[in-house]
Structure 1
Amino acid sequence: MGVSGWQHVGESDGTSTFQLESWSRFFDFLEAEIFSYSGPQRRSFIWRGQRRANWSLSTTLDRLLEVVGISDGPQDALEDVSKQHLERFKYASRGRRGLSPAALSENEWWSLGQHFGLATPLLDWTRAPFAALYFAFEDASVGNVPRAIYALNENAVFAKELEIQNGPSIEKGRVPIVEIVDPMSDENQRLVSQGGCFTRAPIGTPIEQWVQRAFEGSSDPILIRIEIPDTDRLGCLQALNRMNINHLSLFPDLSGASRSTNLRLEFEHCTVRKNA
């Protein structure tokens, strides 16, 4: 690694990859590479943490379609399957949303389903980079595979969305854009606590693949990939806990209380073994 504690290992077609020598360099990396940016184009990033850097930015619905063996079908056919899947969820949700439930848009229905475990075309992101760091390290990992944090330039994505929508007409199917989805529904309190939002890409298209196609030949960092060694997980989580970034603050429900209690046990006993 360089003196800074990270190195830039490659860029192409709107993507850029950095490798950090440890999670503790993430703070300095943000200041040097993200917050101190003074280029001509305004940048605003959303963030996502993943336990393994070799995982694609694919949605749960994409993975389910792959499992059932239809992920290679025509795009319009996959979109039809997606619509039918959502209609079934709406039907199954009858009488389960309380009295006089609010009307929801299509993306709000997907967001509600995402919250309760439905396979959806949405991918979770946060506007808080340290929350993304927490999500990257919250679970123990098997094998020495780096963890990853992704930063997606939402301003550039929105500009590309307008460009595509105003381009040649598409006769059938959903316009091949990536949407940044900010649900207004009150039925997912976790989104508020996490500074959460979603992306929605064409069915069967991981975010990194869409960026590479939509920004072919561009050297601008639309999608930044930050790889972090899979070491000192508890040290990372303890540092974030001191910043009040933990399961209690990010998941304001019994699930968060349970996970927070489990981590407390890890903190106490792993520290005892380490100091023994």
Structure 2
Amino acid sequence: MKEHRVTTWLELQDSLFSDSWNEALGRHRSNFVFRGMPHVEHDLSTALNRQGMFIRQERDLLRAFRKYARGTPREPLDSVWDWLALAQHHGLPTRMLDWTFSPYVALHFLTEDSELAGADGVVWCVDYRETNRLLPRPLKAQLRKEGADVFTGDMLAAAAGSMAELDRLTQHPFVLFFEPPSLDARIVNQFALFSVMNGPDLRLDTFLEKQKQGVRKLIIPAALKWEVRDKLDQANVTERVLFPGLDGLSRWLRRYYSPRPR
């Protein structure tokens, strides 16, 4: 893993879009996904395993969610992975973590909380083609069959129909990236996807820190956060867009008109 502390807006752009040139396509098409966090000391534990809270209740939580949420999704969800994505999207503790294909969406979540403006932030950048090299054979075969680099619910279900089946594929830790169905405009606008590991107790940062290639940890100093935030607002990367509806509008207005702390 490479850790780099950026100091300027232009250096940040170069770091976020580094290695985006795809020679085979002749286009700038990045293989990286991004996760922005407002405090550099925040880890990559999931809501399920943070402080060991819900690890033993993973199956119970999802079973209860599916039972009581019946009829709520507009489209029928066939696979357990699509149900897991729906649960994660609405705040249920799961083994998933939120990521985005958009570096600017990651920067939004880095700078959204003005109360943490005085703390250094971090953007994790992960090349999914590199992490895919460590996937077990059934998952690699499914990606080759579909000509894809990230999974859909159907693709994942074809190789592992349940979380228990995924955990039994190999004893070695791995991470896959899963693109959920377009459940609502929030997932679409945030260009969202999720990471999934093969165990409810596994920590993604522990896994990524051991990777020699395809992982960058960008430290964004507190002094740069306000410039980043102001330029994102001008680029219309705001709560109003990323959280469509009145709630997002209110979040944007509350932050936008808040005085800057001294």
User: After TM superposition, is the score higher than 0.5?
Assistant: yes
2:39 to 30, 52, 66: 52
Is residue 2:247 matched to residue 1:255? yes
Say whether the 8 Å CA contact 1:115–1:188 is kept in structure 2.
no
The 5 Å alignment of 1:76-87 reads: 78=56, 81-87=57-63
Say whether the 8 Å CA contact 1:134–1:245 is kept in structure 2.
yes
Aligned to 2:192: 196
- Cα RMSD of the aligned pairs, angstroms, is 3.1
Distance (Å, rounded) in 1 between the aligned partners of 2:166 and 2:228: 47
The 5 Å alignment of 1:1-276 reads: 15-23=1-9, 25-31=11-17, 33-35=18-20, 44-63=31-50, 66-67=52-53, 78=56, 81-97=57-73, 101-142=75-116, 144-163=118-137, 173-175=167-169, 176-184=173-181, 186-201=182-197, 202-212=199-209, 215=211, 219-220=212-213, 222-266=214-258, 269-270=259-260
Shift of 1:144: 4.8
SS at structure 2 position matched to 1:119: coil
Distance (Å, rounded) in 2 between the aligned partners of 1:180 and 1:143: 30
Shift of 1:230: 1.5
Identity of aligned residues (%): 23
Shift of 1:47: 0.3
AA partner of residue 28 (structure 1) = D
SS at structure 2 position matched to 1:60: coil
Shift of 1:179: 1.8
Say whether the 8 Å CA contact 2:114–2:255 is kept in structure 1.
no
Distance (Å, rounded) in 2 between the aligned partners of 1:107 and 1:171: 12
SS at structure 2 position matched to 1:160: coil
In structure 2, relative to structure 1, the CA distance for the partners of 1:35 and 1:83 (3 Å cut) is same
Greater Cα radius of gyration, structure 1 or 2: 1
CA offsets 1:112-145 (integer angstroms, 9 cap, x no match):
1122111111101111111111111110245853
Say whether the 8 Å CA contact 1:22–1:229 is kept in structure 2.
no
Aligned to 2:154: none
Distance (Å, rounded) in 2 between the aligned partners of 1:135 and 1:256: 13
Distance (Å, rounded) in 2 between the aligned partners of 1:208 and 1:106: 25
Of stretches 21-30 and 43-52 in structure 1, the one that deviates more from structure 2 is 21-30
Say whether the 8 Å CA contact 1:122–1:198 is kept in structure 2.
yes
Say whether the 8 Å CA contact 1:124–1:196 is kept in structure 2.
yes
AA partner of residue 137 (structure 1) = T
Distance (Å, rounded) in 2 between the aligned partners of 1:97 and 1:43: 32
TM-score, normalised relative to structure 1:
0.73
In structure 2, relative to structure 1, the CA distance for the partners of 1:125 and 1:171 (3 Å cut) is closer
